[in-house]
């Protein structure tokens, strides 16, 4: 399990270590430098490093703006010229591990994040790289700058060299280190760092594969460390080297999408899960229900966590103990959703799947999956709403083949509105698509709502919040938590990174390839989650945090199945369902079905 620490928690963990004289910054800088050296060497060995010529031109242009002592001078680089085409250079100094002559540009802010970057820069210089630091503020970490200069690095102030020259320099470099701000950042990057990053981000977009390898130091500067927001310009990184612990913004969308591959450098924080309580010592954990946005941890499940959660059958299990999933999905106009949701449930290992809906749809479900029982009866979880039209209160008689009536009945059972004698007691449910418009009562957390951003915005508008799809996409964590608090249900907000918010920890899962954004994929996910909830039906009702964990597990399996079915190309929703058994088998065998 990946576990992110908020900026407050990082600070609390840091304080005693710094007080004890632990060299945190030296460790961070060394780890950062090792990653940069490895990546530059790798790229050179693969022939992907920038040309020596390009780097030389970029440096020559900057040199025009530097005094002979390396300090900023008066000459200016003409703005707007792009130099240093990046092409493979067979003549680069050879061999894996060789970084001599490679050029790094450091973007250095005023705090310790800039300090890490300068100390790392000193390591790079000592390994034979040419390193230029662009100091974005009047202040820079004193010891870091001294060490960098002593090693032979050159530093220039942004105020002197100006943004266009830095863009040119970057285009001629092999690697850029973004050390403008780290966990001390608040809000969008302010000028001049904000302007610099905007120009670099634009240049990156325009230059595409000619852009140098970009490494974010601790976090991509400008992201919301704790909430994953992207409130202003951010230079997208190929890799983020983060120190001590992951930060929520590295897991949460949309910021997570700017971080590239995330690599953790151990600087000596207590790391084991057992020490989790200790490392949070003194950090107020607010009870759920407060408006504190930091309540609950931000986690990401990994394959081993899902294997431990999966309701694998034992020798004494039979189809009823394993859990029956009741599916109310599809109409005669949209029968496919019923087939996909039922397939997701069957192929993820439900003891039994019951389908409730119009006969014409039931027949199609049976044709696709003869295992499905097309009749009512006891179930241990419900999957409600895929392929069912949204309820339109102005419409007298929606053409839904009686599906709304069936969904209202099931919702009355799962929300506890009907007596146990009638319903057999509360049970978990997945509420998807049209069923999201049929909620009338407060939900228990064992009911998982599975909207995408547009559907969540609509749900929230119905609850009095002024919000549209774009606003939800900008702050998925905030709105998912808001929806949880407003409805009581667990919210699974679908996206490239899916966020699950319930009463406790939040999960941010990034398991699926972009090809997964295809019609019907969500129906399959609903079916998989239905199976997981049915398999642990009683526990889900008793433990109010379990539905969110299982929802995250369903997202992981769905994403890995999509990756497998896609194999780098397009993927059809039914193929995702078909890939699920092999993915589950590998998970249970302890493998990572990546």
Ligand X SMILES: NC(=O)C1=CN([C@@H]2O[C@H](COP(=O)(O)OP(=O)(O)OC[C@H]3O[C@@H](n4cnc5c(N)ncnc54)[C@H](O)[C@@H]3O)[C@@H](O)[C@H]2O)[C@@H](O)CC1
- Per-residue x/- marks for ligand X, 174-213, CB under 6 A? -------xxxxxxxxxx--x--------------------
Per CB under 5 A, 217 contacts K ion: yes
Q: Token pair for residue 570?
A: 């397009």
Q: Which stretch binds K ion (CB under 5 A): 197-205, 215-223, 241-249, 536-544?
A: 215-223
Q: Which option in K ion, ligand X, none does residue 116 bind, with CB closer than 5 to 8 A by kind?
A: ligand X
The minimum distance between CB 148 and K ion, in angstroms, equals 16
Find the binding residues for K ion in span 88-117 (CB under 5 A): 113
CA 206 to chain centre: 25
213 burial level (CB within 10 Å; 0-12, 13-18, 19+): buried
CB of 224 to ligand X, least distance (A): 10
Pick out residues in 240-259 that bind ligand X (CB under 6 A): 243-244
Beta carbon nearer to ligand X, 28 or 431: 28
Token duo for residue 312: 């694998």
Nearest CB to ligand X, comparing residues 16 and 79: 16
Which residues inside 53-112 make contact with ligand X, applying CB under 6 A? Answer: 109-112
Minimum distance of K ion from residue 71's CB (angstroms):
25
> Nearest approach, Cβ of 66 to ligand X (angstroms)?
24
Q: What is the dihedral of CA 53, 55, 59, 62, to 10 degrees?
A: 110
- Written as six digits, the tokens of 398 are 């929606």
Helix (H) or strand (E) holding 117: helix 112-126
- Written as six digits, the tokens of 311 are 């309701």
Residue sitting closest to ligand X (CB): 182
Which class for 282: exposed (0-12), middle (13-18), buried (19 or more C-beta within 10 A)? exposed
Residue 522 counted as an annotated binding residue: yes
The DSSP symbol for 514 reads G
Is residue 33 involved in binding ligand X (CB under 6 A)? no
**Annotated binding-site residue? 186:** yes
Q: Is 424 annotated as a binding residue?
A: no
Q: State in angstroms the smallest separation of the CB of 221 from ligand X.
A: 8
CB of 255 to K ion, least distance (A): 12
Residue 86 and residue 51 in contact, taking contact as beta carbons nearer than 8 Å: yes
221 binds K ion (CB under 5 A): yes
Interface with ligand X, residue 227, by CB under 6 A? no
The annotation status of 116 as a binding-site residue, yes or no, is: yes
Joined together, the tokens standing for residue 558 give 């769905």
Cβ-proximal residues to 286 (8 Å cutoff; 6+ apart), any chain: 292, 294, 295
- Binding range to ligand X, per CB under 6 A, among 56-64, 83-91, 113-121, 270-278: 113-121
Question: Closest approach of Cβ 145 to K ion, in Å?
Answer: 17
Q: Is 144 annotated as a binding residue?
A: no
> Is residue 14 near ligand X by the rule CB under 6 A?
yes
Q: Does 280 contact ligand X by CB under 6 A?
A: no
* Residue 337 interface partner, choices K ion, ligand X, none, CB cut-off 5-8 Å depending on type: none
Q: Tell whether residue 69 is among the known ligand binding residues.
A: no
| DSSP assignment of 162-208 | -HHHHHHHHHT-SEEEEES--TT--SSPPTTHHHHHHHHHHHHHHHG
Q: What is the nearest approach in angstroms of K ion to the Cβ of residue 282?
A: 26
How many residues bind to ligand X according to rule CB under 6 A?
29
* Cβ contact 540:489 at 8 Å: no
* C-alpha separations of 299 from 247, 464, 473, 510, 587 in Å: 10, 29, 19, 11, 19
DSSP class of residue 478 equals H
Give whichever of 145 and 339 is closer to ligand X, judged by the CB atom.
145
- Three-state SS at 575: helix
List Cα–Cα distances, 5 to 58, 251, 299, 546, in angstroms.
39, 11, 9, 21
Partner that binds at residue 156, options K ion, ligand X, none, CB closer than 5 to 8 Å by kind:
none
Q: What is the 3-state secondary structure (H, E, C) of 235-260?
A: CCCCEEEEECCECHHHHCCCHHHHCC
Select from K ion, ligand X, none the partner in contact with residue 184, using the beta carbon and a kind-dependent cut-off of 5 to 8 Å: ligand X
Torsion of CA 472, 223, 244, 252, to 10 degrees: 20
| φ, ψ of residue 492 in degrees (nearest 5) | -110, 100
Asked whether residue 552 is marked as a ligand-binding residue, the answer is no
Say whether residue 215 binds K ion (CB under 5 A): no
Rounded to the nearest 5 degrees, what angle is found at the Cα of 418, between the Cα atoms of 414 and 420?
Answer: 85
Q: Is 483 in the site for K ion (CB under 5 A)?
A: no
What does 185 bind: ligand X, K ion, none (CB cut-off 5 to 8 Å by kind)?
ligand X
Tallying the residues shown for the chain, one arrives at 594
**46, 137 Cβ separation under 8 angstroms:** no
**Is 188 a known ligand-binding residue?**
yes
Q: Which stretch binds K ion (CB under 5 A): 214-222, 292-300, 469-477, 560-568?
A: 214-222
Q: Is 116 in the site for ligand X (CB under 6 A)?
A: yes
Helices (H), 469-545: 469-474, 476-487, 521-535, 537-542
Q: Which is nearer to ligand X, 224 or 535 (CB)?
A: 224
Interface with ligand X (CB under 6 A), residue from 9, 218, 455, 473: 218
Tokens 């990401």, residue?
A: 300
Closer to ligand X at the Cβ: 197 or 410? 197
- Feature table: binding site for (6S)-NADPHX: 112-116, 182-188, 218, 337, 387, 452, 523
- Feature table: binding site for AMP: 494-498, 522
| Footprint of ligand X (CB under 6 A) | 10, 14, 24-25, 28, 109-116, 181-190, 193, 217-218, 243-244, 267
| Footprint of K ion (CB under 5 A) | 113, 178, 217, 221
- Feature table: binding site: 112-116, 178, 182-188, 218, 221, 337, 387, 452, 494-498, 522-523
- Feature table: binding site for K(+): 113, 178, 221
């Amino acid at each position: 399990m990946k576990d992110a620490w908020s900026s407050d928690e990082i600070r609390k963990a840091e304080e005693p270590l710094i007080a004890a004289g632990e060299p945190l910054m030296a460790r961070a800088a060394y780890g950062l430098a090792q990653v940069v050296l490895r990546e530059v060497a790798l790229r050179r060995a693969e022939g992907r490093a920038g040309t020596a010529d390009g780097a030389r031109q970029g440096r020559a242009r900057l040199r025009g703006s530097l005094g002979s002592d390396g300090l900023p001078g008066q000459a200016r680089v003409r703005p707007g010229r792009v130099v240093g085409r990046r092409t493979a250079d067979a003549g680069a100094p050879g061999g894996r591990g060789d970084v001599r002559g490679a050029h790094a540009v450091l973007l250095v802010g005023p705090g310790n994040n800039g300090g890490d970057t300068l100390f790392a820069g000193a390591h790079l210089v000592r390994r034979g790289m040419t390193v230029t630091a662009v100091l974005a503020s009047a202040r820079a970490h004193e010891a870091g700058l001294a060490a960098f200069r002593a090693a032979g690095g050159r530093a220039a102030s942004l105020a002197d060299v100006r943004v266009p020259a830095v863009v040119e320099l970057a285009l001629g470099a092999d690697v850029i280190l973004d050390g403008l701000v780290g966990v001390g950042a608040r809000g969008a990057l302010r000028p001049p760092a904000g302007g610099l990053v905007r120009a670099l981000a634009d240049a990156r977009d325009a230059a595409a594969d000619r852009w140098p390898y970009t490494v974010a130091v601790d976090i991509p500067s400008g992201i919301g460390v704790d909430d994953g927001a992207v409130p202003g310009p951010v230079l997208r990184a190929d890799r983020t080297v983060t120190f001590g612990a992951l930060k929520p913004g590295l897991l949460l969308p949309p910021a997570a999408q700017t971080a590239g591959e995330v690599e953790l450098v151990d600087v000596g924080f207590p790391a084991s899960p057992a020490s989790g309580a200790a490392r949070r010592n003194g950090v107020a954990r607010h009870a759920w229900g407060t408006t504190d946005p930091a309540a609950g941890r931000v986690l990401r499940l990994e394959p081993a966590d899902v294997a431990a959660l999966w309701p694998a059958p034992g020798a004494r299990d039979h189809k009823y103990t394993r859990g029956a999933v009741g599916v109310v999905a599809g109409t005669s106009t949209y029968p496919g959703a019923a087939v996909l949701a039922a397939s997701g449930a069957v192929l993820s290992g439900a003891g039994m799947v019951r389908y409730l809906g119009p006969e014409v749809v039931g027949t199609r479900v049976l044709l696709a999956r003869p295992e499905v029982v097309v009749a009512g009866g006891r179930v241990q979880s419900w999957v409600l709403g895929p392929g069912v039209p949204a309820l339109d209160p102005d419409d007298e008689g929606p053409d839904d083949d009686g599906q709304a009536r069936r969904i209202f009945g099931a919702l009355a059972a799962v929300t506890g509105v009907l007596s146990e004698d009638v319903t057999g007691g509360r049970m978990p449910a997945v509420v998807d698509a049209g069923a999201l418009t049929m909620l009338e009562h407060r939900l228990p957390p064992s009911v998982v709502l599975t909207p995408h951003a547009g559907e969540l915005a609509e749900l929230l508008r119905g609850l009095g919040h002024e919000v549209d799809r774009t606003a939800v996409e900008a702050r998925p964590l905030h709105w998912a938590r808001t929806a949880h608090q407003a409805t009581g249900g667990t919210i699974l907000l679908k996206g490239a990174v899916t966020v699950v918010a319930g009463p406790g920890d939040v999960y941010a899962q990034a398991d699926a390839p972009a090809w997964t954004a295809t019609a019907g994929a969500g129906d399959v996910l609903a079916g998989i989650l239905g199976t997981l909830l049915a398999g642990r039906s009683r526990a889900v009702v008793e433990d109010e945090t379990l539905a969110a964990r299982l929802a995250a597990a369903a997202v992981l399996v769905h994403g890995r199945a999509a990756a497998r079915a896609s194999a780098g190309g397009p993927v059809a929703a039914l193929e995702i369902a078909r890939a699920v058994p092999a993915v589950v088998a590998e998970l249970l065998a302890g493998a990572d079905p990546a």
